[in-house]
Amino acid sequence: MRFYIDNKECDYIFFRKAVNISDDFIQSGFITPEGLITKNSNPKLFNQYSKMVSKNKCQYEMVTFLSDEMKNIIELLSNDDAYIEFAYSEDFYVLPEIEIDKRTLKSLNFYIDFGVKYIINKI
């Protein structure tokens, strides 16, 4: 993964990420009554649900989450008086930025949008 942080003289942290095919930027998962099921949290159940989805027989919808690694980076970069701005692009000349308020970061679920909504979930 490739990252850089651009710290300006203000109360913001600017976070940028270059896309690489091998990057684990997002992960798939299932929200079930038992909680969030991802490949990392429960590989056997995740694979079972994935097979059921391919046959249109899964009762749970497959959703896309930011990867645990990305969530950890967000939390490490954040502090009580800072905002985080996300930029995601295959081209560093075109970097749409997403601002995440600290109050939002502390909430159970929040969404960032790079054209697609990804979920950061702290179950």
User: Is 114's pLDDT higher than 70?
Assistant: no
User: Is 100's pLDDT higher than 60?
Assistant: no
The mean per-residue pLDDT over the stretch 83-110 comes to: 49
Predicted confidence at residue 46, as pLDDT, reads: 94
Strand partners of residue 97: 87
Instruction: Please tell me the distance from the alpha carbon of residue 50 to that of residue 39, in angstroms, as a whole number.
Output: 10
User: Is 109's pLDDT higher than 50?
Assistant: no
Residue 11 phi, psi dihedral angles, 5° rounding: -90, 35
The mean per-residue pLDDT over the stretch 90-109 comes to: 49
- The whole domain housing 88 covers 2-121
Strands (E), 60-122: 62-66, 83-89, 97-100, 109-113, 117-121
| Number of folded domains that form the chain | 1
Which residue did the predictor score with more confidence, 116 or 23? 23
105 falls in which pLDDT band (50, 70, 90)?
A: low
* Mean of per-residue pLDDT scores for the chain: 62
User: Is 48's pLDDT higher than 90?
Assistant: yes
DSSP 22: T
The mean per-residue pLDDT over the stretch 44-71 comes to: 85
User: Is 11's pLDDT higher than 60?
Assistant: no
